[in-house]
A and B are shown apart, each in its own frame.
Chain A
């Protein structure tokens, strides 16, 4: 190792809304920093080669594989794990639907599943089952056979679309009333 190669990196980032400063070995992966350095064990390690999706985490609103991402890449980034998403309540409906539909069995893949599903239910409209199945194909589940997961995501996407529709209809009504008042 040459002197010019920095073996330890100083980092500042935001994890689950909390500012974190830490020094990590240059080769340390995000998933190990989260699980072992910060005690955020909700994200899991399934394959350590980027296939299974159990370590799916949100970095600056994009899903990443915690096992393929070096912590050193994340200076200034905003990281959200299942712990923070739960605390913030942003996927509470998805979590509720997973429990009600039994879209998890052993639960090991679930935090990664939820992180991947979040983007789907936040998109506009209700995705087709084929779209859901395709989108979730980066997350392996060995227990459920996937149908319950697809059902749960579809249910929440529909609920959210209905609520958005109701809000925008309500908004239209208000706008019409205002327009009517002006005329």
Chain B
């Protein structure tokens, strides 16, 4: 029996409806349980002495004064922890030629970025630990630093890791067709340079981990604010020499993640190592300053790009040279090469063309480590692509909507493989663009823009089409040897009263995982969502899975839940059929009642099935299957990724006197396949858009030439606030994936992927008549005034 998703009046039709999130009630009441809220008996706190230098040799470490401070219990150096914890290297085997040196929980001989943990101080309270850390004396001998991306490979630039020979971590060129010839012969070639600023995630809850080592059981329990509990379980087990089954990772409430909390951090591993040594619970709570220097950074890209078009405005090809600086180490275990790699995959993604070249060069430098952050690589690739498309439209005198209509992949052209080599199952660029034009009343907006221009008001409209990578298969990490699961599982159990518990390998960080899983399981079993309790984030009880990242929760975890729920339904119906002397196929379960499928006549409450199975199994035929607990796992297999698509538009007003940008409105049309909960999808997109707007207008981690961070506080690193943000209109097109019965793709990256390009294009649309353009993010008032020629020094 398949679910008739197109019939909103079908029984148990919870998939596709807005239902409230079951965990929201406790969060608004202040009853969340984030890791820092947990206090365990005998718990102690660890604080870290971090390198104040971007690059320095570590000499003598004097810990005596700290050790005698009241409240300080132990002090650990890198050598101490190296005895119990093996180092790691963030490499993937399928990324040919990739290099990165071994990394330890605490630096051994050299510190390679400002903020690298060097010494750990354990105290009875966090204040004790911090006071002790302030008393540790480390002899640092400063070494030459590498900070600039473009000169990192120059012969006269110092080599950061001597053993690696040069500062190149990874380089990849993706090429198809005859790029040189096409660009030489093309009717029109447009060129530009682009910069996306170095960002960090700024999760409102900083990273936090509380690890206990119970020597009696030989078991480690880590409460951690993380998105991938099973991944962390295996890595802690591996590096601390514990059987995987004896490491329990618990991720309760997580205060925002966005990719920040999917990586292995040296301070977190150090905390686990210390817990194992001290045999007691150890907590590390990062403060905000540590977050700016210790959390992953991302998006530090500089690129030059060209687009070639024929007379009719048809795109012939793209040619992009992308450079990115990733700090001194590749992140473990996902690597810091994936962002650049995605840029080489995603440039030109929405369009038809035959000639393609994109090279990325990933270089080491003495700054914070860069890694996967929401919409990995997408904002960079979309900004380059859409910046070039809009510039070409302007130079050729073609309306930007019209130029896109001429070049977007036709909605009936799928499946197809793009020039960049992406296998696309089914997208809806044209329907999405049509929906956008209608939602924003494009013609009226253009007329308004023109009228206001005559009054000296400079408004601009920016469009950005994009594709979004979701539901990754093992092609992303597994084939490279990383123990990161692309499959996911769900166990559904019916309790005696007919209510249901579902345990899932995907996790909740606010997306609404618990809500959509409850909806899916409710529909699959035939009970109301209120009767479903979802359990996430505990490796001891949930099926082995990957967690929630790369917009995989709904598409992969959701399908496993659907199948597990259907299996429990099947078992319950088999028992009911035996009790009612009916055929299971003639029965259905609706709102917790076994009914006659044809007439809807009520036959028996599900609680009666539960009562008999659990307490009077003797009355059922011997050998009748009655497992009201079923587990199913799901993995995608037809496509390496489920791509989604969408298009955004931004409407801005630029004050040409001050350079300030006012965001007037923002639109997004997105196709994430089957929508499970429309409200939650809309809010994922809105939140993502605002992170993308932050990229366009505000966010930049600034370093000086010595590798010192200049804006490591929340007052200096600007994230969007409510006062500056626009209202956002969200629309949908639904093209379900045929990989699964559920048909869901991901929706978490779309907003962030497209918003920076849309805002950039809108600003340029506003200021182009004045002779300026901006392509280096963030578009601060100063950069806009420079583009306008107001500031020239």
Q: Give A residues with C-beta under 8 Å from B.
A: 35-36, 40-49, 51-52, 54, 81-83, 86, 95, 98-102, 104-111, 114, 129, 132-134, 136-137, 139-150
A86: which B residues are within 8 A, CB to CB?
28-30
B607 to chain A, nearest CB (A): 28
Check B509 for interface membership: any CB of A closer than 8 A.
yes
Check B604 for interface membership: any CB of A closer than 8 A.
no
A137: which B residues are within 8 A, CB to CB?
721-724
CB contact under 8 A between A114 and B28, given known A41-B37, A147-B728? yes
Closest to B728 in A: A147
A106 touches B714 (CB 8 A): no
Check B271 for interface membership: any CB of A closer than 8 A.
no
B713 touches A49 (CB 8 A): yes
Q: Quick one: which of B248-282 are within 8 Å of A by CB?
A: 253-258
13 cross-chain CB contacts under 8 A: A46-B205, A48-B288, A49-B714, A83-B29, A83-B30, A86-B30, A105-B511, A108-B203, A137-B724, A142-B202, A142-B687, A143-B256, A145-B751
Closest to B258 in A: A142
Known: A99-B24, A132-B722. 16 other contacts (CB 8 A): A41-B34, A81-B30, A82-B30, A95-B29, A106-B253, A107-B32, A108-B34, A108-B256, A133-B723, A137-B722, A140-B204, A140-B719, A140-B721, A142-B691, A143-B256, A145-B683
Residue in contact with A141 in the complex, picked from B32, B204, B723, CB distance below 8 Å:
B204
B24 touches A104 (CB 8 A): yes
Q: Quick one: which of B8-65 are within 8 Å of A by CB?
A: 20-21, 23-25, 27-34, 36-37, 39
B85 to chain A, nearest CB (A): 28
B714 touches A102 (CB 8 A): no
Q: How big is the B interface, by class?
A: 35 or more
Residue in contact with A106 in the complex, picked from B255, B715, B722, CB distance below 8 Å:
B255
B690 touches A52 (CB 8 A): no
Closest to B37 in A: A41
A49: which B residues are within 8 A, CB to CB?
288, 713-715
B24: which A residues are within 8 A, CB to CB?
98-99, 102, 104, 107
Docked complex Cα distance between A129 and B719 (Å): 20
CB contact under 8 A between A44 and B683, given known A51-B715, A107-B27, A145-B725? no
Check B236 for interface membership: any CB of A closer than 8 A.
no
Q: Mark B308-328, 1 if CB is under 8 A from A, else 0.
A: 000000000000000000000
Interface of A is mostly: loop
B773 to chain A, nearest CB (A): 27
A114: which B residues are within 8 A, CB to CB?
28
Q: Which of A41, A100, A132, A139 lies at the interface centre, i.e. has the most chain B CB atoms within 10 A of its CB? A: A41
Docked complex Cα distance between A34 and B258 (Å): 29
Q: Which of B203, B288, B511, B722 lies at the interface centre, i.e. has the most chain A CB atoms within 10 A of its CB? A: B722
Closest to A97 in B: B28
Docked complex Cα distance between A146 and B720 (Å): 9
A145 touches B205 (CB 8 A): no
A82 touches B29 (CB 8 A): yes
A99 touches B686 (CB 8 A): no
B725 touches A51 (CB 8 A): no
User: What 9 pairs between A and B have smallest CB-CB spacing?
Assistant: A42-B30, A107-B27, A105-B510, A108-B255, A82-B30, A106-B510, A145-B690, A41-B37, A145-B686
A149 touches B722 (CB 8 A): yes
B256: which A residues are within 8 A, CB to CB?
105-106, 108, 142-143
Closest to A28 in B: B127
Residue in contact with B205 in the complex, picked from A44, A51, A82, A99, CB distance below 8 Å:
A44
A102 touches B680 (CB 8 A): yes
Residue in contact with B36 in the complex, picked from A45, A129, A136, A150, CB distance below 8 Å:
A45
A102 touches B512 (CB 8 A): yes
Docked complex Cα distance between A147 and B254 (Å): 22
A98 touches B28 (CB 8 A): yes
Residue in contact with B725 in the complex, picked from A109, A110, A133, A139, CB distance below 8 Å:
A133
A95: which B residues are within 8 A, CB to CB?
25, 28-29
Residue in contact with A46 in the complex, picked from B29, B288, B751, CB distance below 8 Å:
B288
B173: which A residues are within 8 A, CB to CB?
none
A142 touches B722 (CB 8 A): no
A129 to chain B, nearest CB (A): 8
Residue in contact with A147 in the complex, picked from B287, B688, B721, B725, CB distance below 8 Å:
B725
CB contact under 8 A between A143 and B687, given known A51-B714, A106-B205? yes
A144 touches B205 (CB 8 A): no
